[in-house]
Chain A
Amino acid sequence: MSNRSMGKNGPVSLIFHTLFTAFIVAPLIVIILVSFSDKGYISMPFGGASLRWYQAMLDAPELMGAIWLSIWLGLGAALLATAVSVPAAIAIARYRFIGRDAFTALLLSPLMMPHVVLGVAFLRFFSLMGWTGSFLALLLVHALIVVPYSLRLTLGAIIGLERDAELAARSLGASRWISFRRILLPLILPGVAGGFVLAFIQSFDEVTMTVFVATPGTTTLPVALYHRVALLTDPVTTSVSTVMIVGTMVLMFILDRVVGLDKVLIGKK
């Protein structure tokens, strides 16, 4: 929606806007450019471009391992989060019960919690439970922290939906389950799918919590990248980052097609 009532943008506004946009995209552009450098150190590719840092990425088993681990982790966490938040969203949107607001707040609470605190809590929890280094344990807590994202998009889809269609189906002879599978689920599928993709992205990107609990066997891509950048900025970090940027752009395109990017980013509750 365009809200042009407050007048038009003058030249000052446009200069401001240009600087703002430049500020936002600058670090990403720089990474992409540097990743094509042919030098052995961080530099612009204007002297000579090459794909040597992409080759270096493919040749680094720990990076490739981290990429695959992050992908499987993200898929598993998004799947589990979706499986948990779809019924929860139905309960929240379709029933009035005591503790409903508290339940909703609990499910959204990971959004507000500092991930450092979560990292500390899970580190302690895993060491007490003997789960340290377990991929499954990492998957469980990743699912937990991405539940709010899938819940929000699923909830948005259900709340926007009249209940009449489900009631009509029931009245026409459909059981609760059939009315869910044949009527409600197809109608909220875009929201559910959008929630799944967003949950995947959030799990894939998570670094602060994971850096606490990751072990050599469970190092995700952002954690591997974090440790490399913390030690020294060698150009292979830029090629990995470029792959992540491009991958995110592809997922953003999918999200836009499925639910509309404005809904995901601006997040109508």
Chain B
Amino acid sequence: MADVKLTIAGRPYDVHCADGEEAQLIRLAAVVDEKARTMPGVTEVRQLLFAALMLADETQEARAKADKAEPQSDSLRAAVALAESRETAARDELKAAVSREQAALKELEAIRGHTPTATTSSNPAHDRALLQIADRIEALASKVEQLP
């Protein structure tokens, strides 16, 4: 236990408290002392009474504020939860899109991997046909673009 000497409304008090709580006790005493001193010229008992009343009033106000803030924190929590679920959904969607893209790339690579043997060495006729088709489709595109 620790011994603390407090002075409230001009009167010294010897108080005991748990070790380590001395500073907090001194701070609390300073608050009470400050309230008590706002009523000069009255008896010490009245000073302490008014200090107690003012502190009770402040406590009540603080509680009311906390009660009012509660619904706001509820809606804030709901908004955060909604945002988090949307973020998760967006991430899942992105993940799925990336997997689809990777699968498509693999497929393309597989096709390209087979293309050289099919187009270069084994079947040059396909290459020629491909080139001719490219020419014809380009000509077709020009015709379609020039349609009235």
Tell me, yes or no, whether A binds B.
no
B residues with a Cβ closer than 8 A to A are none
A residues with a Cβ closer than 8 A to B are none
